[in-house]
Structure 1
């Protein structure tokens, strides 16, 4: 039987956003998104867990080299998202509402394209210590 192992890297970034649907009225946006619809934006201290799952390589003993994973997260996520306004500064959110769910999905696709096909990827994003999302699930 072949067993898989999970390697998890934890990172942190700060970002501002506004939850808003441009196709809705101001009243409906406020009704659905409440304070998160503030036209002046609001911010979060996001905690990110990137889990790579696969079979341990017999030659290296790694599922993935954690230095490579760390560098990938820095380039594809932290450099793009940290201390940014997600709505205004991040191209992936020009047409996509930057909810925690969508942020996690975007991070998944930014990272997945750089991983070998034999590796699975899971993203866990904490918007607050008590609110988090996982993608895919």
Structure 2
């Protein structure tokens, strides 16, 4: 029986969307307010979903307490109340768009969670704007 379980978490981060290869005018036109040189913040909602087979001995697909602990240790501690551009190594050379943040989180968690589980990241940047990786 294939099933999906999900864990919702929350973190606050600041960032600036900026391409250093572009002029200030182009950055302003493309990224608008998100290009503020003094940064801006979001209250991100993160949903981590795992899909796979239920373990018949436990009845679990994956222990959600363990999933919570993994997310806290490898994502929240690194991103919560941080400036993603300045305080994390992940976005020193990578524009911290919602798309890239979701991809980075997926890569971090993929290293911690057994490959037998499909891993999906859903990241809400605002109540109305969110991304999913992978996209299927």
Q: TM-score range by the shorter chain?
A: over 0.9
Q: Which deviations, in whole Å up to 9, do the C-alpha atoms of 1:36-85 show, x marking residues without a partner?
A: 00000000000010001110001111111111100000011100000000
DSSP 3-state at the match of 2:43 = strand
Aligned length: 135
2:132 paired residue among 107, 111, 134? 134
DSSP 3-state at the match of 1:40 = coil
Q: Provide the residue aligned with 1:70 in structure 2.
A: 68
Q: Gapped runs of 5+ residues in structure 1?
A: none
Q: Provide the residue aligned with 1:112 in structure 2.
A: 110
TM-score w.r.t. length of structure 2: 0.98
Runs of 4+ residues deviating >3 angstroms: none
Q: Gapped runs of 5+ residues in structure 2?
A: none
In 1, Cα distance between the equivalents of 2:45 and 2:112?
A: 21
In 2, Cα distance between the equivalents of 1:62 and 1:106?
A: 27
Alignment of 1:42-121 (within 5 A): 42-121=40-119
DSSP 3-state at the match of 2:102 = helix
TM-score w.r.t. length of structure 1: 0.97
